[in-house]
């Protein structure tokens, strides 16, 4: 056996096999390899980011207090930003369905416009936002519709990334004034008690498989009119929300436009004993009886009816008339009744008509219609116009002039023949 020179050093690298690590001689003349592959070494630690001060122009530091920095803040992880699927589902359904549809439609139009213009829709710049508002204004869109679009776009942005509003608001304000100067606002026609009677009469004319729909619509019209109801309120009514007595119907409005916290509010709809045709007690009792015949004693009050006149059980969410369907029912009855200009009759007329009647009688419709106390809408559209008619100073002038003319006429009339 040949002996190795003690000074003879053989380069080797460690190689792993089934038996473990063993030395392998390196090729002669090559540079010695490291014993450990650098790729297997841990990455060098990155230096900690420099702490930055967290102050703005509103910061106030007490004497001796240190300047707050980013190092003082909490160290968030991914878990702090995750929400569960059940939370995501509730977030998706938290916004009212009508609002979601309107916002989704408006946002879709904005995204399509941005695609045509080569602009980023979300998060968009203030310039893009303002340019789009001008686009809507140039199309002569109603100011309220422009406002919906603006809200939809900003609502789609993360907090703190919404575009600026100042220029867009000023443009919209000028548009509203200019538009008002050349066209009158188109308002829903008020459904007076006379129009209500004509519309309910079309319900009584229904026979055969159409009779249940007539019974339902008669209850919808008379109860909605007495409640000064919004169509969404009618859509959300449950059978359990009603207490029908001979003198009227007590209705629990579980939530409404002015009660987003769903505290609930009770409304009393009085009976109309002198005219059973438009009496909500008569009409609601008839509809509840129809529902019982079809096996419904709880749940949604106003339900879809098949073309065969049946009222089947449906999955939740499809078991009630939607607000749009409520509006369609009111419109259809107005057309059937041949009311003047039926195109102006909407479900809002069930609210506007009785509100004006209350104001004309010297009352205040605020509570019955569930407006906010001191509502500007009630004051501007109902109470002030009614007071203006009743207490108009020119009316007093005309009355006095008529009285003066009558007095003068009496004084100048020839004396009648005197008889002894």
88-124 pLDDT per residue, tens: 888 877 766 656 778 888 999 999 999 999 999 999 9
Sole residue written with tokens 């109309």: 272
Classify residue 58: in a domain, yes or no. Answer: no
Would you say residue 188 lies in a domain? Answer: no
CA 363 to chain centre: 29
**27-36, 270-279, 303-312: the lowest-pLDDT one:** 27-36
Domain stop point among 182, 210, 228? 182
Provide the CATH number for the domain around residue 173.
1.10.150.130
Range with the lowest mean pLDDT among 5-14, 137-146, 273-282, 378-387?
Answer: 5-14
Q: Name the β-bridge partners of 13.
A: 24
In the predicted model, what is the mean pLDDT of the chain?
85
Residue 223 lies in a domain: yes
Q: What angle do CA 336, 337, 340 make, to 5 degrees?
A: 115
Q: Are residues 361 and 223 in the same domain?
A: yes
Using pLDDT thresholds of 50, 70 and 90, give the confidence band for residue 392.
Answer: confident
Q: Report d(CA 206, CA 165) in Å as an integer.
A: 53
Pairing verdict, β 20-25 and 248-253? unpaired
Backbone angles phi, psi at 383, to 5 degrees: -70, -45
Cβ partners under 8 Å of residue 89, min gap 6: none
Based on the fold, state whether residues 138 and 245 are members of the same structural domain: no
Identify whether residues 139 and 258 lie together within a single domain. Answer: no
Count other C-beta atoms under 10 Å from residue 346's C-beta: 20
For tokens 């929400």, the residue is 83
CA dihedral 105, 106, 110, 115 (to 10 degrees): 0
> pLDDT-derived band of residue 390, with 50, 70 and 90 as boundaries?
confident
331 and 274 in a common domain:
yes
β-strand pairing of 265-270 with 248-253: antiparallel
In a domain, 178, yes or no: yes
Kindly report whether the peptide bond that precedes residue 123 is cis, defined as omega within 30 degrees of 0: yes
- Does the pLDDT at position 17 exceed 60? no
* Separation CA 30–CA 11 (nearest Å): 9
Q: Which helix (H) or strand (E) holds 91?
A: helix 85-94
Residue finishing a domain among 127, 160, 182:
182
- pLDDT band at 39; cut points 50, 70, 90: low
The pLDDT, as a whole number, for residue 90 is 85
Range(s) of the domain holding residue 265: 193-390
Q: Closest by alpha carbon to 284, among 202, 226, 223?
A: 223
Tokens representing 185 are 């606002």
> Helix, strand, coil proportions of the chain in percent (round to 5)?
50, 10, 45
The pair phi, psi for residue 32, each rounded to 5°, is -60, 135
**Per-residue pLDDT averaged across 145-156, rounded?**
94
Do 238 and 358 lie in one domain? The reply is yes
pLDDT for res 385? 82
User: What is each CA distance from 65 to 55, 60, 213, in whole angstroms?
Assistant: 13, 10, 74
Among candidates 180, 172, 166, 103, which has minimal Cα distance to 134?
A: 172
Q: Residue 26 pLDDT > 60, yes or no? A: no
Is 59 a member of any domain? no
Which residues 6+ apart lie within 8 Å of 222 measured at CB?
196, 200, 278, 279, 280, 283, 284
Per the domain annotation, does 401 fall within a domain? no
* DSSP string computed for 254-297: --BTTBTT---EEEEEE--TT-GGG-HHHHHHHHHHHHHHTT-S
Total number of domains in the chain: 2
User: Residue 380 belongs to a domain with what CATH number?
Assistant: 1.10.443.10
For residue 18, being part of any structural domain is answered with no
- Reference 212, options 289, 290, 278, 329; nearest CA is 290
Judgement on whether residues 172 and 216 belong to the same structural domain of the protein: no
In a shared domain, residues 174 and 200: no
Query: Do 299 and 369 belong to one domain?
Result: yes
User: Could you give the CA distance from residue 280 to residue 301 in angstroms, rounded to a whole number?
Assistant: 14
Report how far residue 300's alpha carbon sits from residue 253's, in angstroms, rounded to the nearest whole number.
Answer: 13
- % of the chain at pLDDT higher than 70: 85
* The pair of three-digit structure tokens given for residue 357, joined into one six-digit string: 């009647």
> Do 262 and 376 sit in the same domain of this protein?
yes
**Domain match, 224 and 332 both:** yes
Q: Which residues contact 278 (CB under 8 A, 6 or more apart)?
A: 193, 196, 197, 200, 222, 225, 272
Q: Residues 158, 250: one domain? A: no
- 60 versus 72: the higher-pLDDT residue is 60
pLDDT digits (tens, 9 = 90+) for 219-255: 999 999 999 999 999 999 999 999 999 999 999 999 8
Residue at a domain's end among 161, 182, 203 = 182
Tens of pLDDT, residues 154-192: 999 988 899 999 999 999 999 999 998 887 767 788 999
Q: Is the pTM of this model over 0.75?
A: no
- Residue 88 in any domain: the answer is no
Q: Which of 3-17, 116-130, 295-309, 328-342 bottoms out in mean pLDDT, i.e. has the lowest?
A: 3-17
Judge whether 358 and 382 are in contact, CB under 8 Å. yes
pLDDT of residue 420: 41
Asked whether residue 114 falls in the same domain as residue 246, the answer is no
């Amino acid at each position: 056996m040949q002996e190795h020179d003690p000074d003879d050093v053989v380069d080797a690298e460690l190689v792993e096999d089934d038996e473990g690590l063993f030395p392998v001689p390196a090729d002669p003349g090559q540079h010695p390899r490291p014993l450990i592959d650098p790729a297997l070494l841990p990455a060098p630690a990155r230096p900690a980011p420099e702490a930055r001060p967290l102050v703005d122009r509103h910061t106030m530091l007490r004497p001796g207090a240190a300047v707050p920095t980013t190092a003082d803040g909490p160290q968030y992880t991914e878990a702090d930003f995750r929400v569960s699927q059940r939370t995501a589902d509730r977030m998706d359904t938290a916004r009212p369905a009508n609002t979601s549809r309107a916002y989704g439609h408006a946002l879709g139009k904005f995204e399509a416009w941005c695609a045509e213009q080569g602009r980023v829709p979300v998060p968009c710049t203030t310039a893009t936002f303002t340019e789009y508002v001008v686009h809507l204004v140039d199309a002569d869109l109603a100011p309220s519709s422009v406002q919906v679009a603006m809200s939809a776009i900003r609502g789609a942005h993360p907090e703190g990334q919404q575009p600026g509003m100042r220029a867009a608001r000023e443009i919209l304000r000028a548009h509203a004034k200019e538009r008002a100067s050349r066209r009158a606002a188109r308002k829903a026609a008020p459904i007076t008690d006379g129009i209500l009677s004509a519309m309910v009469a079309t319900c009584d004319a229904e026979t055969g498989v159409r009779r249940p729909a007539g019974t339902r619509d008669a209850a919808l019209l008379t109860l909605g009119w007495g409640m000064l109801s919004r169509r969404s309120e009618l859509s959300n009514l449950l059978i359990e929300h009603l207490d029908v007595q001979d003198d009227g119907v007590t209705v629990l409005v579980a939530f409404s436009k002015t009660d987003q916290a769903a505290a609930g509010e009770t409304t009393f709809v009085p009976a109309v004993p002198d005219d059973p045709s438009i009496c909500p007690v008569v009409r609601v009792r008839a509809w509840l009886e129809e529902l019982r015949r079809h096996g419904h004693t709880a749940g949604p009050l106003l339900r879809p009816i098949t073309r065969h006149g049946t009222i089947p059980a449906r999955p939740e969410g499809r078991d009630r008339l939607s607000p749009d369907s409520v509006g369609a029912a009111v419109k259809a009855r107005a057309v059937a009744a041949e009311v003047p200009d039926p195109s102006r009759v909407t479900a809002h007329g069930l609210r506007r008509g009785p509100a004006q009647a209350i104001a004309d009688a010297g009352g205040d419709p605020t509570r019955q219609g569930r407006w906010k106390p001191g509502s500007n809408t009630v004051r501007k559209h109902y109470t002030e116009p009614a007071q203006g008619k009743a207490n108009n100073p020119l009316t007093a002038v005309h009355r006095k002039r008529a009285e003066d003319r009558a007095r003068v006429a009496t004084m100048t009339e020839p004396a009648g023949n005197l008889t002894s």
